[in-house]
Copies of this chain bind each other. A is one copy, B any other.
Amino acid sequence: MCEHFLQEPEWSWNHPEKDEPTYVHHWVKPLHKIEQTPDLILYGAPISRSSISVSGASLYPSEFRRMWKGFTTYNLDENVDLSSFLVADAGDVAMHTTDIILSHQRIQKTTAYLAAHYPTTRTCMIGGDHSTTACAVRGIKEAFGEEKIGILQLDTHLDVRDPKELGPANGTPIRQLIDGKIVKGEDVINIGLHGYYNAKPLIDYATQHSIQMVTLKQARKQGLLNTIQGALEQLTKKVDRIYITVDMDVLDISVAPGVPASTPGGMSAMELFDCLLEIGKHPSVQHIDFVCLDPSKDSAVSETVKIGVYAWLQFITGCMFQPR
């Protein structure tokens, strides 16, 4: 449980301590340079060769850090300054070039290490493709063996394809966790499903395992935020620890050119931002990931990566509203 495979982040944080940080890259600090317990630990899981179709999602962690320079720490809408919230960047998990299983184990071990050593700190993993979620959740299980984990998934897909057929690919994480007895199907709530993107047999699997499927249409009808709140309340009653996984393909294709699996009929960026703010506010949420964004396919103006950074800041803004 004590091993980790972290590589120091490549960027060099060089903001003078005395100055108040006003930009994100002056605010986030490398984990190995701070002594207090951080409020949130960020780490990258740069793997996407486990993706069914060609993906450059492995490039997201570094691009995420490159684009955050365009953001300040001040949320004007909520009138909140994030600079007092301590975010530590633990760098990226070192991936093997061709051994996918080994890479996956390292993500698991590293997540377990971070969760165990910083038990009161939120973790935030930046993928990587969606296969990384199975690793991270197993890592958390490893760290807190007795605790029951629930998952709130924002996703266009169920991701319950069969690992016996595909191996631990990006279409399989939820099934890996259910079949592996890490998480119960009834403790998984998927919000964002829509359209013609999940084959009937996958829906049958989800139904058999009591995965809660909330289509985007249903969620909009009952209020997206109500739906999120309801899901978090419900999970809070049933589990000890909530893991949020945000597959960026939940976004509509018109705002997410950098997510090859995004589709027409998905969430707008504003909807995603509102969801993340709400999720951040909830005290049971300890773990979150953002996966499947391939910056090599993004638009010339990096629209999708900017949405990714914004969504992450919304989650942190939400956290600021909690009593500390």
Contacts and interface: CB of A to CB of B under 8 A. Distances in A.
Given A77-B217, A98-B100, A193-B76, A307 B54 contact: no
Contacts of A310: 195-196, 263-265
Interface string A57-100: 01100000000000111111100010100000000000011111
A59 to B, nearest CB: 7
A194 to B, nearest CB: 6
Contacts of A306: 253, 263-264
Interface in A176-199: 193-199
Interface string A271-290: 00100000000000000000
B301 A297 contact: yes
A322 interface: no
Stoichiometry, copies per complex: 6
Nearest to A307: B264
B169 A97 contact: yes
A35 B269 CA distance: 47
How would you classify the secondary structure of chain A's contact residues: helix, strand, loop or mixed? Answer: loop
Contact of A167 (B10, B99, B307): B99
A167 B20 CA distance: 24
A99 B49 CA distance: 10
Given A97-B166, A253-B303, A301-B260, A198 B54 contact: no
Given A98-B100, A169-B98, A200 B54 contact: no
Contacts of A50: 49, 98
Given A22-B201, A269-B254, A310-B265, A215 B77 contact: yes
A208 interface: no
A52 interface: yes
Interface of A: 10-12, 20, 22-24, 48-52, 54-56, 58-59, 71-77, 81, 83, 96-100, 165-169, 193-201, 203, 213, 215-217, 252-255, 257, 260, 262-265, 269-270, 273, 296-297, 299-301, 303, 306-307, 310, 313
Given A23-B199, A49-B49, 18 more contacts: A22-B199, A49-B50, A50-B98, A54-B59, A72-B197, A72-B198, A72-B199, A75-B196, A76-B195, A77-B216, A98-B100, A100-B100, A195-B310, A253-B303, A260-B301, A264-B303, A265-B270, A297-B301
